[in-house]
Amino acid sequence: DPYADDPIRHPALRINSQRPFNAEPPPELLTEGYITPNPIFFTRNHLPVPNLDPHTYRLHVVGAPGGQSLSLSLDDLHKFPKHEVTVTLQCAGNRRSEMSKVKEVKGLEWRTGAISTARWAGARLCDVLAQAGHRLCDSEAHVCFEGLDSDPTGTAYGASIPLARAMDPEAEVLLAYEMNGQPLPRDHGFPVRVVVPGVVGARHVKWLGRVSVESEESYSHWQRRDYKGFSPSVDWDTVNFDLAPSIQELPIQSAITQPQDGAIVESGEVTIKGYAWSGGGRAVIRVDVSVDGGLTWQEAELEGEEQRPRKAWAWRIWQLKAQVPAEQKELNIICKAVDDSYNVQPDTVAPIWNLRGVLSNAWHRVHVQVVP
Ligand code: MTE
Ligand code: MO
């Protein structure tokens, strides 16, 4: 069993698949704090978790022509200036279970929890690339990452991001060795992973073994044959992965974590809570909440760290205290967020349905019963 050596996990996680391990925190724990504690941070593994020795670990960085290749130990990485940043990581498949209610999709049935936030620390990728002699001379180039996890044929997990993002110090792309002040847990990439603020989880390669600059995107399955969006009309007979761009920045997203669908709440003051986040460093400027199925709207209060313009890498937790009269029988709660480019979420799922169930960001809806 290639999974026999996987780490022990927190019992509160909701498991979507055991081998490989995929799990999300329950909604009430997800937004309990602004930072997600390491043991309940959502986990998305495609393969068995490698068991790497931090003393013999080396990160191979392929040098630029005329530059030199690097073989960096963990100590070597610690010698680069340490950079810290709070980043929300979201899987492209977050909220897929709502899409599969419209029509069958291929993929894990994530609810609203394939998203979490941590304070990451490590070396800046631009500093490491510069030491290997790389400059931003070819703005069409890509930085390819390879993990040290692999399938029985020896194929490793891989992904890539544009070189322009990797070399931009303002983009704050990290080779992270710390998560919330601790060494990375095994499930989250020990000893080193990539953190790409504002970009889909799939590019945050864990158990990082190799970094190279290429003229093309990574040839990995997960870069070329997965994590792309399509029209609702495209099915598995007609899909052409070569024609769609790989998902990088993610669209505006929000969800309700409290109360949960099907709950019973008491009339009077009802607390409604959730998260909101947008990709590409776009800040959340507003979350609108309705308790009457979208007839009327109220603005939620945004909590958590202030967001920096163009560098809003982390989510906002939001809250609304709604007054619910005793004669009310039910609430149809909806939330929708707006980012600072005035991007909004689509109101329903069907028009954004796609065969792989990615980019599921329609208005989130929760139905609850009210008791006096
Ligand atoms: N890196 C490696 N090496 N192997 C993987 O399976 N999964 C990716 C990404 N990096 C993956 C990986 C995907 S799809 C996501 S959403 C994130 O890791 C999840 O990171 P987490 O498990 O720390 O939440
Ligand atoms: Mo993912």
Would you kindly state where each structural domain of the chain is located, as residue ranges?
A: 14-243, 253-371
User: What residues form DSSP beta bridges with 367?
Assistant: 332
Contact 69, 132 (CB under 8 A): yes
Question: From ligand 2's centre to the CA of 200, what distance in Å?
Answer: 7
143 pLDDT band, cuts 50/70/90, is very high
Atom of ligand 1 nearest to the CA of 201: 16
Phi, psi (deg, nearest 5) at residue 100:
-75, -10
Q: Is 90 exceeded by the pLDDT of residue 137?
A: no
Contact 365, 348 (CB under 8 A): no
Q: What is the mean pLDDT of residues 213-233?
A: 98
Question: From ligand 1's centre to the CA of 314, what distance in Å?
Answer: 18
Q: List, for residues 167-180, the tens digit of each pLDDT value.
A: 999 999 999 999 99
Residue 139: what pLDDT?
Answer: 85
What does the longest C-alpha to C-alpha distance in the chain come to?
A: 76
Helix (H, G, I), strand (E, B) or coil at 273: strand
Residue 141: what pLDDT?
Answer: 97
Q: Is 90 exceeded by the pLDDT of residue 142?
A: yes
Question: From ligand 1's centre to the CA of 174, what distance in Å?
Answer: 15
208 pLDDT band, cuts 50/70/90, is very high
Question: From ligand 2's centre to the CA of 202, what distance in Å?
Answer: 5
Angle of CA points 249, 250, 251, to nearest 5°: 130
Contact 253, 345 (CB under 8 A): yes
225 pLDDT band, cuts 50/70/90, is very high
Q: What is the mean pLDDT of residues 285-295?
A: 98
Question: Has domain 253-371 been given CATH number 3.30.499.10?
Answer: no
CA 215 to chain centre: 26
Ligand 1 neighbour 110 (Cβ under 6 A): no
Atom of ligand 1 nearest to the CA of 187: 22
Six-digit token pair at 337? 């967020």
End-to-end CA distance of the chain: 54
Atom of ligand 1 nearest to the CA of 194: 10
Computed over every residue of the chain, the mean pLDDT equals: 98
Q: What is the mean pLDDT of residues 132-149?
A: 94
Q: Give the whole-angstrom CA distance, residue 184 versus residue 57.
A: 14
In the block, which residue shows the tokens 């995107």?
217
Q: Give the whole-angstrom CA distance, residue 17 versus residue 205.
A: 20
Distances (CA, A) of 170 to 34, 174, 196, 198, 277: 23, 11, 11, 12, 19
Helix (H) and strand (E) counts in the chain? 6, 22
Q: Do domains 14-243 and 253-371 have the same CATH topology?
A: no
Q: List, for residues 312-369, the tens digit of each pLDDT value.
A: 999 999 999 999 999 999 999 999 999 999 999 999 999 999 999 999 999 999 999 9
Contact 83, 174 (CB under 8 A): yes
Q: How many CB atoms lie within 10 A of CB 217?
A: 18
Q: Is 90 exceeded by the pLDDT of residue 138?
A: no
Residue 274: what pLDDT?
Answer: 98
Q: What is the mean pLDDT of residues 112-129?
A: 98
Q: Is 90 exceeded by the pLDDT of residue 153?
A: yes
Question: Has domain 14-243 been given CATH number 3.40.50.1820?
Answer: no
Q: What is the mean pLDDT of residues 230-253?
A: 98
Handedness of CA 41, 47, 51, 54 (dihedral sign): negative
Residue 294: what pLDDT?
Answer: 98
In the block, which residue shows the tokens 């001379």?
137
Contact 193, 114 (CB under 8 A): no
Q: Give the whole-angstrom CA distance, residue 335 versus residue 272.
A: 10
Q: What is the mean pLDDT of residues 182-210?
A: 98
Q: Give the whole-angstrom CA distance, residue 164 versus residue 138.
A: 8
Q: Give the whole-angstrom CA distance, residue 178 versus residue 189.
A: 10
Question: Can you list the alpha helix ranges (DSSP code H) found in the chain?
Answer: 27-30, 74-79, 96-102, 125-131, 163-167, 221-224
Q: How many CB atoms lie within 10 A of CB 278?
A: 29
Ligand 1 neighbour 46 (Cβ under 6 A): yes
Q: Which of 36, 115, 203, 204 to mutate to test the pocket of ligand 1 (most atoms within 8 A of CB)?
A: 204
Dihedral angle, C-alpha 59, 218, 43, 109, nearest 10 °: -170
Question: From ligand 1's centre to the CA of 44, what distance in Å?
Answer: 5
In the block, which residue shows the tokens 């809806």?
365
Q: What is the mean pLDDT of residues 234-258?
A: 98
